[in-house]
Structure 1
Amino acid sequence: MKLPVGHQTIMPYLILEGALQFIDFTKNVFNAESSGQQSLRDDGTVMHAEIRIDGSTIMVTDASEDWKKQTANVFVYVPDADATFEKAVQAGATVLMPPGDQNYGRACGVTDPFGNVWWITAVKK
């Protein structure tokens, strides 16, 4: 199977209110990069956009009358869970679980301003 460049077999597709702001949030917190795949509706809302976080693609669109808001729980590995947690909180996320040592690494959880839950983990060293 040949996939499009920058795509994986499974990718989340988030339907949000404030997709452009969500993209900015991921850039600030997770150093996401825009893939260049972005199309807007006539009213300026996102019809389709893609971001990449360390090589993993997330697709996103703004909710519409036909496509209601659908958020997700996202598990993400980061180099430093504490630093990423602080960036997320500073960017408006609410705390679900403060950083702590788990048997699988240093982990924490936040809900972003768009309703997505992020489980942030740094692998044990």
Structure 2
Amino acid sequence: MNIPKNHQTIMPYLILDGALKFIDFTKNVFNATVLHAPQLRDDGTALHAEINIHGSTIMFADTTSDWKPQTANLFVYVPNADESFKKALEEGATELMGLSDQEYGRTCGVTDPFGNVWWITSVNEFTI
């Protein structure tokens, strides 16, 4: 099986209202990189785009009359959950679960402006 570079066996594919703004959100909160610059439809909406967050690719596009929003719950490991949580709120996310130390790491939850839920976690000394 030949999987393209920067792809995994399973990847989320999101259909979003505001896909181009999603790029800015993920860049500002998670230091995402753009792998596939948005292909645009004639109306300026994204037909297809890809970002990568710490080695994991997310594909996405804008909604259409045929494709309604399809968001996801995403669990993401970050270097510093406190920092990412703060940035997410600054970028318009809403808090679902405040920061806390759990057996699996420092964690929190937010809903981004596009309807995706992000469970943000960093490994701490209690986890290792």
TM-score, normalization by structure 2: 0.95
Per the alignment, residue 72 of structure 1 pairs with: 72
Larger CA deviation: 30-39 vs 47-56: 30-39
Per the alignment, residue 112 of structure 1 pairs with: 112
Aligned length: 125
1:32 counterpart letter in structure 2: A
State the identity %.
68
What's the CA shift string for 1:71-96, capped at 9, x where partnerless?
Answer: 10000000100010000000000000
Rounded to whole Å, the distance in 2 between the matches of 1:98 and 1:117 is: 13
Rounded to whole Å, the distance in 2 between the matches of 1:62 and 1:38 is: 10
What's the CA shift string for 1:73-123, capped at 9, x where partnerless?
Answer: 000000100010000000000000011000110000000000000000001
Rounded to whole Å, the distance in 2 between the matches of 1:27 and 1:59 is: 14
Per the alignment, residue 48 of structure 1 pairs with: 48
Rounded to whole Å, the distance in 1 between the matches of 2:28 and 2:58 is: 15
Gaps of 5+ in 2: none
Gaps of 5+ in 1: none
Which stretches of structure 1, 4 residues or longer, exceed 2 Å deviation after superposition? none
What's the CA shift string for 1:44-68, capped at 9, x where partnerless?
Answer: 0000000000111000100001111
- 2:111 is aligned with 1:121: no
TM-score, normalization by structure 1: 0.98
Rounded to whole Å, the distance in 2 between the matches of 1:20 and 1:46 is: 7
2:58 counterpart letter in structure 1: I
C-alpha root-mean-square deviation of aligned residues, in Å? 0.7
